[in-house]
């Protein structure tokens, strides 16, 4: 009798352990607190940063030749629908807002990393149609040096993509720091655009 009770008890214990194991294996990403993965990228959590970017090629190095790359900053992916930012012109170096969004920029000379930016830092942001090549008369987010054909980000200048010009009323606010644009090739021509995004909302 004692042996039978022991066997029954052991059997129930094994069933309970197996039941717990199965339940853990079936936990969905949202329940376990993991990020939602889309391809090789992941959604950026609010108040977090992530590197982003893309490569593209063109048969001619003219501005129209590069076409437009549609990018969803929140999902950190090149997309064919629901973009938040559009990259166009030479080497796809110009950023503009997709329909339904607004592009602004802010100069923060003392800030070296987008990771430290908060909503309070955006008080002096100004609306702009596009940010591309910077000059004495045009506000851009990169400097182009023709002599050696190099492209360098403008230090302390950050692009902001939001779904409302009023950041307090907006439900999406993403700050983008350009890190590099590298163009190579003599036909086809290639571009590698890299940036870091901080999602504030």
- Over residues 75-90, the pLDDT tens digits come to 999 999 999 999 999 9
Inform me whether the pLDDT recorded for 23 exceeds 80. no
Range of weakest confidence among 66-75, 120-129, 159-168, 179-188: 179-188
Mean pLDDT check: name the lowest of 12-26, 37-51, 107-121. Answer: 12-26
- pTM for this one? 0.79
Question: Tokens in use for 190?
Answer: 């290639």
Residue 36, SS3? coil
Q: How far apart are CA 174 and CA 161, in angstroms?
A: 5
Going from the C-alpha of 135 to that of each of 9, 112, 143, 156, the distances in angstroms are 80, 21, 7, 15
Distance CA 29, CA 35 (A): 7
* Number of neighbours of residue 134 by Cβ within 10 angstroms: 17
Is the link from the previous residue into 191 a cis peptide, with omega within 30 of 0?
A: no
Lowest mean pLDDT among 53-62, 66-75, 83-92, 130-139: 53-62
What does the mean pLDDT of the chain come to? 84
C-alpha count within 13 angstroms, C-beta hemisphere, residue 149: 8
d(CA 70, CA 100): 14
Taking Cα atoms as reference points, which of 108, 117, 102 lies closest to residue 171?
102
For residue 40, the model assigns a pLDDT of 46
Mean pLDDT comparison of 59-63, 118-122, 147-151, highest-scoring range: 118-122
CA-CA distance, 155 to 110, in Å (whole number)? 9
CA distance 6 to 52: 59
Q: In angstroms, rounded to a whole number, what is the distance separating the alpha carbons of residues 95 and 130?
A: 6
């Amino acid at each position: 009798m004692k042996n039978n009770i022991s066997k029954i008890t052991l059997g129930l214990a094994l069933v309970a352990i197996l039941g717990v194991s199965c339940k853990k294996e079936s936990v969905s990403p949202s329940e376990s607190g993991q990020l939602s993965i889309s391809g090789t990228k992941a959604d950026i959590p609010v108040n977090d940063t992530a590197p982003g970017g893309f490569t593209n090629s063109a048969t001619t190095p003219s501005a129209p030749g590069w076409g437009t790359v549609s990018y969803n900053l929140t999902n950190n992916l090149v997309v064919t629908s629901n973009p938040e930012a559009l990259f166009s012109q030479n080497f796809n170096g110009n950023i503009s807002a997709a329909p339904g969004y607004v592009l602004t920029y802010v100069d923060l000379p003392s800030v070296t990393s987008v990771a430290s930016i908060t909503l309070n830092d955006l008080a002096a942001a100004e609306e702009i149609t596009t940010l591309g090549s910077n000059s004495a008369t045009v506000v851009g987010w990169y400097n182009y040096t023709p002599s050696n054909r190099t492209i360098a980000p403008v230090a302390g200048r950050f692009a902001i993509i939001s779904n409302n010009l009023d950041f307090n009323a907006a439900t999406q606010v993403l700050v983008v720091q350009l890190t590099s644009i590298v163009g190579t090739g003599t036909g086809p021509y290639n571009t590698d655009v890299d940036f870091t995004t901080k999602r504030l909302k």
